[in-house]
Structure 1
Amino acid sequence: MLSAIGLDEAQETAYRALVGLGAAEVPYLANRLALPEDDTVRTLRHLERQGLVAQSSTCPGRWTAAPPAVALGALLTQQRHDLDRAELATALLAEEFRGQAAEPAVHDLVEVVTGTSAVAHRFLQLQLGAAHEVCALVTTTPAAVTDVENDAEDRAVERGVVYRVVVERGVLDAPGGLGRLAEALSRGEQVRVVDEVPTKLVVADRALAMVPLSARGAAPSEPAALVVHDSGLLESLLGLFEAVWRQAVPLRLGADGTSYEAPMGEPETSDLEVLSLLLAGLTDASVAKQLDLGLRTVQRRVRHLMELAGVSTRLQLGWYAYERGWVAREGQARDAGR
């Protein structure tokens, strides 16, 4: 609990014990902590340097705890100060990086990462650095990174990062696969299923992607991956993900834990009226006025359509609506009226 301010388990336990006792001598404290006396003394010395404990001035060998509100408050203030400085340094470095990367060299747009630990570490960094969205294509083929599940994923979701994941149908039958997908769904992640995905792929914030270097089905070798920065290649990988996402079917879990794939569903006529006017170039406010609706109602219906289509932008929604036949192109409308 106090690890955030630099205390390990033994140090925290010792401080808590002294807070409860008020004061104690080393032999008694060592017995209470189940530690050798030498280790107990070292622990107390560390706490003393942190300003959390002090030796009694009237009774040599006796240690007392500093008031938590004062001692811990000072450490927390220092911690916040250090974090503020780190945040400022990060912002300055990011600005410097953007300046240097305004016209990056071609060889800087793609990194080659080799080795199981290196690939796994880069994959971890990808998720830890995500601030908005992580998109992933998951295959049944084992590799250094088998799917989009690790501790970084949990932390990313807690920060509000949106996960959109497409898995191959074979993942549902893999050992433990259904359980991992159930955990992902319970965290609010969006999971869809297709018969087969073209490749493993992870994209963070539409700015950084990671894809295996070896071709699918190739003979096993040392794991290697490409890390792709903002470039035309990254846009192509994003296009690949979105194409697979549109064709995939949302995964749902029944009450008994079995999986089923939910139909995409069809929008209501009133929602399509809103969409048609938006595609005609009207603003949200103009649509609301035309249909005698509230502005928030219009925006809520658009969000509903985006959720139904499984897209994240209105541009994608328009494309999806045409592809699915929700709205007709002008030529199609004339042909239908003949």
Structure 2
Amino acid sequence: MLGAIGLDEAQESAYRALVALGAAEIPDLAHRLTLGVPQTERVLRHLERHGLAAQSSARPGRWVAAPPGVALGALLTQQRHELEQAELAAALLAEEYRAEATEPAVHDLVEVVTGASAVAHRFVQLQLGAVEEVCALVTGQPQVVSGPDNEAEEQAAVRGVEYRVVLERDVLALPAGLAEATSALERGEQIRVTGRVPTKLVVADRNLAMVPLTGRGSAEPAALVVHASGLLESLMGLFEAVWREALPLRLGTAGTVAEGETVPDTTDLQILSLLLSGMTDASVAKHLDLGLRTVQRRVKGLMEITGVTTRLQLGWHAYERGWVAR
């Protein structure tokens, strides 16, 4: 928890122990932390340099914790100041870069990244650098990365970055496909599903894109990173075209209903959404861990609730009642 101010696990544990005990000698503290005496002394010296601990003037060899409100507050203030200076430096460098690259050479508009590790790292880096929006096309054939990195997505979501993602229908058939889609929806992402996605693609802030250069099973994976250019505009146009034709995926949430109206439960809504995405009854049953007859029975129940006789009518009524989105 205190790693943000430069403390590792042992240093944080030592400081917490001193705060809890009030004061302690090195052997007692080492025993409590299950560390060696020399290592415990090094940890305390580190805390002392950061103003978090000090040796007792009344009892030599005894260490006391500095008040957290004062000591940690000072470190946090320093950390904020350093971050502000770093942000200012980044802004100045960005301005300098823009001034020098008003007319970039053609070869500077694209970069080739090779190697699985380098491609995966650049993929995450692209998302972490996003400020406003990340748009992605995700295919059902994983290459170096199978979809937007969960940790990177979560960090971006905390910063308020919006995600628009189009999934190829086969993605939902992958072992963790449905679970990952559900988690993404819970984070507020917009997800749509289509039968086929032309290529894997990620675009950050309409300013930087990444597409694979090599197919599945290639000896050395490679990707193309595209900077602001006509090519980037074309890739963004491709995404928007696929997005318009795809169907929204909504799992586990219901719209507003009238008083006294029968409301489908979470499982019913999942079944409806997956069926509307193009999955068969058997596929829905498999991925929701239900029996085929259970799925069919629930669909029949929804048809009875809405008073319809065909599934086409059911889809229309589900939209009208806010159970699913277009």
TM over 0.5: yes
Q: What's 1:128 paired with?
A: 128
Distance 1:7 1:70 in 2: 16
**What letter matches 1:13 in structure 2?**
S
**What secondary structure is seen at the aligned counterpart in 2 of 1:253?**
coil
Contact 1:132 1:162 in 2 (8 A): yes
- What displacement does 1:58 show? 2.5
**What secondary structure is seen at the aligned counterpart in 1 of 2:250?**
strand
Distance 1:149 1:248 in 2: 22
Deviations 1:189-230 (A, max 9, x none): 111111101000000000000000125xx6532110000000
CA separation of 1:198/1:74 partners in 2, compared to 1, >3 Å: closer, same or farther?
Answer: same
**What letter matches 1:260 in structure 2?**
L
Q: What's 2:168 paired with?
A: 168
Distance 1:142 1:71 in 2: 48
Q: What's 2:97 paired with?
A: 97
Distance 1:166 1:146 in 2: 13
- The within-5 A match list for 1:236-255 is 236-254=234-252, 255=266
Which TM-score applies when normalising by structure 1? 0.75
Q: What's 1:112 paired with?
A: 112
Work out whether 1:260 is the aligned partner of 2:277: no
Deviations 1:137-196 (A, max 9, x none): 000112111111321111111111111101111111111111111111111111111110
**What letter matches 2:60 in structure 1?**
P
- The within-5 A match list for 1:181-192 is 181-192=181-192
Q: What's 1:43 paired with?
A: 43
Which TM-score applies when normalising by structure 2? 0.78
Deviations 1:81-106 (A, max 9, x none): 11111011011011011112211010
Distance 1:79 1:158 in 2: 20
Deviations 1:53-96 (A, max 9, x none): 11122322111111222211211111111111101101101101
CA separation of 1:98/1:74 partners in 2, compared to 1, >3 Å: closer, same or farther?
Answer: same
- The within-5 A match list for 1:186-335 is 186-215=186-215, 220-254=218-252, 255-256=266-267, 257-258=270-271, 259-260=273-274
Q: Which runs of 5+ in 2 are unaligned?
A: 253-265, 278-323
Distance 1:187 1:10 in 2: 33
Contact 1:139 1:199 in 2 (8 A): yes
**What secondary structure is seen at the aligned counterpart in 2 of 1:203?**
strand
- What displacement does 1:309 show? 10
Q: What's 1:68 paired with?
A: 68
- Greater shift in the superposed pair: 245-254 or 87-96: 245-254
**What secondary structure is seen at the aligned counterpart in 1 of 2:120?**
helix
Distance 2:217 2:3 in 1: 45
Distance 2:111 2:233 in 1: 16
Distance 1:58 1:206 in 2: 63
Aligned length: 264
Distance 1:309 1:58 in 2: 71
Contact 1:193 1:261 in 2 (8 A): no
Root mean square deviation, CA, Å? 1.8
**What secondary structure is seen at the aligned counterpart in 2 of 1:198?**
coil
Distance 1:94 1:78 in 2: 24
**What letter matches 1:3 in structure 2?**
G
Contact 1:252 1:262 in 2 (8 A): no
Distance 2:70 2:192 in 1: 52
Contact 1:169 1:195 in 2 (8 A): yes
Runs of 4+ with >3 A deviation: none
Distance 1:182 1:77 in 2: 39
Contact 1:251 1:261 in 2 (8 A): no
**What secondary structure is seen at the aligned counterpart in 1 of 2:274?**
strand
Q: What's 1:10 paired with?
A: 10
